[in-house]
Amino acid sequence: MRHDTNSSPVRRGHKPDLIFHIDMNFVSYRVEYLEKWIVKLAGMGYTALLWEPEDKVRWETCPEVSNHGFTKTELTRLLQLSRDLGLENIPLLQTLGHAEYVLKHDEYAHLREDPDYHDCYCTTNSAARVFLKTWIDEYVDLFGDIRQFHLGGDEVYRFASCPDCHQVSAEIGKIALYSEFLQDVAGNLLENSITPGIWADVILTDPRSLNAISKDFRIWDWNYWDGTDPPRETMVWGRGIVSQEELNDTTENSIPGLFTENGDLRAFHTVPLLRQKGFHTILCGSSRSSGDSFFVGQHNLHGPNIIGACRKAIEENLCGVCVTSWAIRIHPWETQELWLRMAPIALNHPDWPTEKIEEAAVRELVDFSGREVIMILEGIGTTFPFFRLRESGIQYDHLKDTEPPPDDYLTNLVEEWRDTTGLIPKLLEEVERGRTLLRQASEKLGMLTSLSLSKSITSGFLRSLTKASELQETTSLIADAILRYEISRGTIDGIAAAIAQASESMFEWSVTWMNDNYARKITTLLFRGVTEYVNQQLSGDMNDE
C-alpha cells in the first residue's frame, strides 16, 4: 500500500521550468522521430529541452568523432522547431567524464587523464582545455541564442589521478581543482551571459568544499531512486547507496538535512543543502536509468521518482526540474510516455496523491483504469539475466561506449557465476518469479490492447508495451534455457533460433526510432554475448557426440 508523505508544505505561485533530456549516447535518432516528440513534449507542458548530442552531429572541432550523426542543418531545423513551440534549448557537452566517444579515438588519446581508459579528460592538460573551449564555441554557434549551457562533470571516476592532477589536487583540494577547470572552460560562456551548469554528484562528495564552486554555476542535482515516500536507503555521494541503519552521527554531521524532524531519511536530501549554500538548482529525476531492462523501464522506480522530484522542486522553490532519459538503456520514449506525462501533472497539482496523478496520466494516453495500466507496467518492467548492463556486453567495462566486449566475455561471466556457490539456481528462481509477473502483465495487456482496437483507440504507448512484452518474454525464455542448461547440462537445442528471432524483432522495432545502421549496431551488441555463448555450447555438445 503506497502512501504519500510531504514533510514540508508546497509553496504556491511558483512553477519551475520543466526540462526533458534528449540523450544521444548509444542512439542515433531519426529526424522525424525527434520532430514528433518535440511537438509532443511541448504539448504536454515541457518548457525546455536538454540536448546531449555527443557524436551524433558532424562537428568541425573533432570530425573524427561523428558517428551516424545529423548534419548541422538537420539539427538547426530541430532547434528552430523547439523555439517555435516555445521550448528553450539547452546544450550539454561533457567536459570531464563520459568522454568515451571522443577519447577512444587515437587522435584524442593525448587528452586522457589515464592513458589506459578513455572516459575522462585531463584537467591539467592545457591542450584539453583549448580543445573543449573551441568545441563549446562551436556548440554556441550552432545552438544560437541560448541562456544556459550544461558542462556535464558527473561520474569522473579517474579525475585527478594522473601525476600532475594528483599533485595539484593534493595542494589545493580535489573540488577546488574541479571548480578551477570548469570555471576556465566556461570563460566565454560567462562573458556572454550564458549560465553554465554542472551535475551535482562530484561536488556533493565533500559538502564542506561546496564554497569552492562559483555561484555562477547552476547545479543539476540528479537523483533517480528517491520517490514520494521517505526512503529506507539513500545515496551518500562518494560512498554509495547506504541504508538508514548504516548511517551514523558522523555521516549526519557531514551531510546536513539527511534526516527529517521525525527521524526519517529525507527524500532528495541534497536539495536543501544546495539551496542553503545559495545555488540555483535543477532537480533531475529519470524515466530511463540504471536497472532498467533494455526493452522497458520500471514503473515502481520511475513513476514515484518523477512525481517526488516535481513536488520537491515546488517545495524548495527550485528554478527547474528535469526528466532525464539515458539512451544507453535503449528502449524508446513511447515506453516511458506515462512517466513523461506525470511530470507536468505533478507540477500543476503537487497536492494530488500519486494514484490521482497516475490516473490522469493514463487517461491522457488510453481510455482505461489507471491501476490496470500501472499493474501492466510493473510486471513488464522485470529484468532478466544476460539482458542487463554488464551481462549483455553493453557497458561491460562500466564505460558508456559502443565497443563490443572481448570474445568469450559472457562465457567467462557464466564461469564466474558457476564458481559462486548457489548463484545460478538463485538466478533461475529470479527468472521464474519474473516470468510469472511478466505472464500476468502480458495477458492483461493483451486484453486491453484488444479492447482498445475494438474502440478504435490507437496508442503508441500500448503498441510499444506490447512489443516490449514480446521481447521480454523471448529473452526470459533464453535466460531460462541457459540457466537450466548450466544446472543440468541438458539441451539448449532451438535456443539459437530464438535468439536470432529476438534479435531481428529488436532491430525491426529499433528502426522506428533509430537510423538503420545504428539500430543494427546496437541490436548486434545487445545479442552478441548470448549468441556466441549458445553457439559455443552447441558446438561443444556436437563434439561430445
pLDDT at position 250 is: 61
Sign of the torsion formed by the C-alpha atoms of 419, 425, 426 and 430: positive
**Cβ proximity of 25 and 54 under 8 Å:** yes
pLDDT at position 1 is: 31
pLDDT at position 253 is: 56
pLDDT at position 458 is: 64
Strands 233-236 and 240-243 turn out to be antiparallel
Extract the residue ranges of the chain whose pLDDT is less than 50. Answer: 1-12, 542
**Cβ proximity of 39 and 84 under 8 Å:** no
**CA distances from residue 400 to 98, 146, 182, 327, 394 in whole angstroms, order as listed:** 7, 28, 22, 10, 8
pLDDT at position 541 is: 62
pLDDT at position 252 is: 57
Is residue 71 helix, strand or coil? coil
pLDDT at position 261 is: 87
pTM for the model stands at 0.94
Longest dimension (CA), the chain: 76
pLDDT at position 369 is: 77
pLDDT at position 8 is: 39
Of 219, 185, 155, nearest in space to 25 by CA: 155
Query: Rounded CA gap, 129 and 529, in Å?
Result: 38
What is the identity of the amino acid at 186? Answer: A
Of 472, 469, 475, nearest in space to 534 by CA: 475
Query: Rounded CA gap, 526 and 519, in Å?
Result: 11
Query: Rounded CA gap, 109 and 339, in Å?
Result: 39
For every residue of 121-163, DSSP letters joined together read B-TT-HHHHHHHHHHHHHHHHHH-S-SEEE------TTTT-SH
Is residue 26 helix, strand or coil? coil
Burial class (CB in 10 A: 0-12, 13-18, 19+), 406: exposed
pLDDT at position 454 is: 72
pLDDT at position 258 is: 87
What confidence tens digit (pLDDT) does each residue in 22-63 have? 999 989 999 999 999 999 999 999 999 999 999 999 999 999
**CA distances from residue 458 to 23, 30, 166, 450, 463 in whole angstroms, order as listed:** 27, 22, 58, 11, 8
**Cβ proximity of 475 and 386 under 8 Å:** yes
pLDDT at position 544 is: 54
pLDDT at position 13 is: 55
